[in-house]
Structure 1
Amino acid sequence: MRQSIAHTLAGTAARSTLAVMIAVVLGFGPDAALAKRGGRDDNRTEFYGIVQERPEQGLHGTWVIDGRTVATDSRTEFDQSEGRLDVGSCAKVHIRNGRVHEIDSEPMGHCR
């Protein structure tokens, strides 16, 4: 009888340990994925705004969007699938680790 109680307790402990391990793995999964993509969410920010100023030639340089001055460089990505990123257009700015990662054109409804 003692062996069967001990066996039952050992099985319960093993199941509990497995459940905790699964919870830990699922809990850390998103953080690990973010680390591979370039950082945690607290190192990322984004905002929408109207393009008020942009570089005179090309896309790299100083922009003013929603009153914020941002600088783009050769590593900045641009998505103009919703229209050209011209003065007066709506844009979404993605900042990662303090640098402008991407600027997307957006429908004007996102900036109102």
Structure 2
Amino acid sequence: MGQKSKAYAIAYLRNVRMGDAIVEYLERIDETLAPYDGHFIVHGAAPERIEGDWDGAPIVIEFPDYDHLKDWYESPDYREILPLRTENSDGVVIFVEGVDRSHRATDVLTG
């Protein structure tokens, strides 16, 4: 049986209203990620816009696989702090499964 692909929670946050709620969210999120082996791979860096419109902050959290990602997002600990972010920022969050290093662009034509 093959190894599961890593999975990613990707957020594009805009209009983050910095205040006590966002600070609390930031102080607590890492402890919610730890049991699911999730960790930030993009967070806080100012992006360089190359094409199109972009006025937000990119965030990428990596997990060992899609099950770990879903279990984290649905966990009681994360659900408890989620409103601290959603009520104090605008944005989009997606979940996506990664590909391994052998992936080639044309692989999507046969998948």
Per the normalisation by structure 1, the TM-score is 0.25
Q: Which has the higher strand share?
A: 1
Whose relative contact order is higher, 1 or 2, with alpha carbons under 8 Å and at least 6 apart? 2
Q: Greater CA radius of gyration, 1 or 2? A: 1
